[in-house]
């Protein structure tokens, strides 16, 4: 692919990484304790991530994404959307 074939992503909403984790967790009706049990990440760390007091990091993003059944990019890059190309 050439550079011209890529579309620039545009930011849609202002959501922090921590807010993204919290929103997705709540949409799935999970408590912080339940997410902690699913991931092995202590509840206190889940809380700190959701309050943006601790960096998510690549490995934790993978673990949380797996438990929340989303792609890690959804957590790491909240609020960004890439326009989809048509199949035509």
Q: Mean pLDDT score of the chain, rounded to an integer?
A: 85
For domain 3-81, give the CATH number: 1.10.260.40
CA–CA gap between residue 84 and residue 62 (Å, rounded): 24
pTM above 0.75, yes or no: no
- Mind listing the pLDDT tens digit for each residue in 17-28? 999 999 999 999
Among the listed ranges 4-13, 14-23, 35-44, which one has the minimum average pLDDT value? Answer: 4-13
Q: Which two tokens stand for residue 37?
A: 């049990």
Q: How many CA atoms lie within 13 A of 22 on its CB side?
A: 12
- Mind listing the pLDDT tens digit for each residue in 43-54? 999 999 999 999
Q: Could you identify the residue written with the tokens 């309050």?
A: 51
pLDDT of residue 15: 82
CA–CA gap between residue 87 and residue 35 (Å, rounded): 37
Helix (H, G, I), strand (E, B), or coil: what is residue 67? helix
Domain map of the chain by residue range?
Answer: 3-81
**Four-residue CA torsion sign, 80, 68, 56, 21:** positive
């Amino acid at each position: 692919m050439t550079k011209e074939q890529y579309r620039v992503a545009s930011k849609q909403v202002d959501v922090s990484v921590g807010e993204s984790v919290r929103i997705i967790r709540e949409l799935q009706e999970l408590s912080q304790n339940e997410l902690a049990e699913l991931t092995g990440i202590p509840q206190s760390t889940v809380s700190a991530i959701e309050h943006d007091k601790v960096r998510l990091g690549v490995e934790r993003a993978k673990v949380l994404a797996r438990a929340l059944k989303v792609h890690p990019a959804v957590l790491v890059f909240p609020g960004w959307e890439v326009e989809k190309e048509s199949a035509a």
